[in-house]
Amino acid sequence: MTDLTSLTLAEARDRLKSRAVSSLEISKAHLEAIERAKMLNAFVAMTADKALEMAEASDVRLARGEGGPLEGLPIGVKDLYATRGVHTQACSHILEDFKPPYESTVTANLWRDGAVMLGKLNMDEFAMGSSNETSCYGPVASPWLPPNWSRDRARAALSSGKRGLLTPGGSSGGSASAVAARLCLAATASDTGGSIRQPAAFTGIVGIKPTYGRCSRYGMVAFASSLDQAGPLARTVRDAAIMLRSMAGPDAKDSTCSPAPVPDYEAAVGRSVKGMKIGVPKEYRLEGMNSEIEALWTRGAEWLRAAGASVVEVSLPHTPYALPAYYIVAPAEASSNLARYDGVRYGLREAGADVVELYEKTRARGFGAEVRRRLMIGTYVLSAGYYDAYYVRAQKIRTLIKRDFERAFADGVDAILTPATPSAAFGIGEKGSENPVEMYLNDVFTVTVNMAGLPGLVAPAGLSSEGLPLGLQLIGRPFDEETLFALGETIEQSGGRTALPEPWWE
Amino acid sequence: MSVDLNAVRRIAHLARIEVTEAETPHLQSEINAILKFVEALDAVDVDGVEPMTSVIPMRLPMREDVVTDGGIAPLVLANAPVTEDGFFVVPKVIE
């Protein structure tokens, strides 16, 4: 019998439908895998009782020939989605013991469609990070072994601080590690500057950040509201399409959520890409670019050409300004959003002689170093005298970035192909200790997409010479996720699905 | 632009985050590294460009002006660190 945790989401769905296997069996297999993978630190809370209860209910529905599109399928949930009565902390001390009395719309949609919740997944604190190292629960290890490491060396590192092991990326590091290590069939994630797509590239899986407004943000712990979007991480393009269809949809509780109906994304998987025009932006060819990444990019373009698409060079001249503008807009919005953590209404509270001291002590203790730094930057760029020079200027540059994409699409380009990350995964403890900007550069290829509100999909496209996964990114027109799924499937078929690492951590 | 130590203390207070004197120089250098990084934006000509307000053009949805929520005080207070008689409790604000 095939290991139940190695099935794709689509395969598991089909087996459940044909009653070849029960949800209880699949869910138990995953709960056991999570237990054996505790040292990866991907899950910060397990909801085993809830999972078994949901699985049993799914089996009843499946036996009656009923059930939703995700009926009985066990998934993981990033810790920033509010789940009623269940641990929801965005991996920050300041939300210690917080149990929301409400459910996020995205997770409510997943449960409506029959999915089974296995637990909550590790992440960078408030999604601020690119390596999952800012989590108050500590770093997550990638299931990929560092080059030339033996299984024994890696196992020893797992139990002694994880230094040198690879990061799964961030901020959705727990989600990526869990999906790649086959601890869940798929997971929810979120993306403000690359937090779905960079971890997908680092762990050899698929992730999509849909168009801004495609998924409701209700019940997601807010970071930067004009950039935040929900999306899935999964092991295949088809699985990501199945997940996104359930996660997305109109919601009266989020006024920025699109009222447009959700298409059947899975139907786009396998659709021909013949005649499509793919843009390759010259500004993404950075000086001193990693030659392996460049070769991967060229190979990706060749695959699409071989499938009948044409590839043309396009220009997105404001690309170099996206990352600096992001590091004004995102902290500014964060400083406003995170003002709510005051030690009064929920979460951590540190005593103070007066209310201002209470706020200052609570926030100093509750927030980690990276969050404190970004809140201070955000406060500074919004403060009197600096607002126009920093914030307004960055928002103008955002208009220019969006205009670049609009021009390319108006010239008939259907989608844009770029690398996902400047390199393969790096080691835990390796980056950003001296200068925070070193870590920020990880998002150089992904952040433009958030700034322009567009959909972006990352699919694995092969391995580096050291044997680590590398991904390619496809950027689409607003609300044209279907084209990305069609093109993503072509890349997945052309390169062959990346074989995920054997469980050395067990 | 760069910030001096006094500016760091002022920003921390505006952000309502306590910083110790020992942390201040390190924070200063990190904040200045980020400010240096965003200096690149000064090179862009933004004359006549509208600042972005909404990334996807959308009309703000309207609904009837009626109460759709409420009557859940116990749930609102459920996660509060200190409550009393249905209220949040804070240190004395008015002398």
Domain chopping of chain B, boundaries: 5-42
CA distance A109 to A344: 31
How confident is the model over A91-133, as pLDDT tens digits? 999 999 999 999 999 999 999 999 999 999 999 999 999 999 9
Q: Which residue of A has its CA nearest to B18?
A: A360
- In angstroms, how far is CA A198 from the centroid of its own chain? 8
How confident is the model over A232-277, as pLDDT tens digits? 999 999 999 999 999 999 999 999 999 999 999 999 999 999 999 9
Residues A215, A106 contacting (CB under 8 angstroms): yes
Q: Who's near A186: CB < 8 A, 6+ residues apart? A: A9, A73, A75, A76, A179, A232, A233, A234, A235, A239, A240, A242, A243
Please choose, from the candidates A485, A325, A102, the residue with its C-alpha nearest in 3D space to the C-alpha of residue B78. Answer: A102
Q: Does A376 touch chain B (CB under 8 A)?
A: yes
Q: What is the reported pLDDT for A231?
A: 98
Domains of chain A: 4-272+427-495 (3.90.1300.10)
More confident residue, A400 or A431: A400
Please choose, from the candidates A81, A34, A83, the residue with its C-alpha nearest in 3D space to the C-alpha of residue A54. Answer: A83
From A23, A27, A58, A78, active-site residue: A78
Q: Which two tokens stand for residue B91?
A: 């240190």
Q: What is the reported pLDDT for A271?
A: 97
Q: What is the reported pLDDT for B14?
A: 97
Q: Average pLDDT of A465-480?
A: 97
ipTM value: 0.96
Which residues 16-75 of B are in CB contact (within 8 Å) with A? 16-19, 27, 30-31, 33-35, 37-41, 44, 46, 49-56, 58, 60-61, 63, 72, 75
Weakly modelled stretches of chain B, pLDDT under 50:
none
Distance from the Cα of A96 to chain B's closest Cα (Å) equals 10
| Type of residue found at A15 | R
More confident residue, A139 or A431: A139
* pLDDT beyond 90 at A2: no
Exposed, middle or buried, A48 (CB in 10 Å: 0-12/13-18/19+)? middle
Poorest-pLDDT segment among A242-251, A304-313, A392-401, B65-74: B65-74
SS (H, E, C) B11-36: HHHHCCCCCCCCCHHHHHHHHHHHHH
Q: Average pLDDT of A268-292?
A: 95
pLDDT band per the 50, 70, 90 thresholds, residue A497: confident
Q: In chain B, count of helices (H) and strands (E)?
A: 3, 2
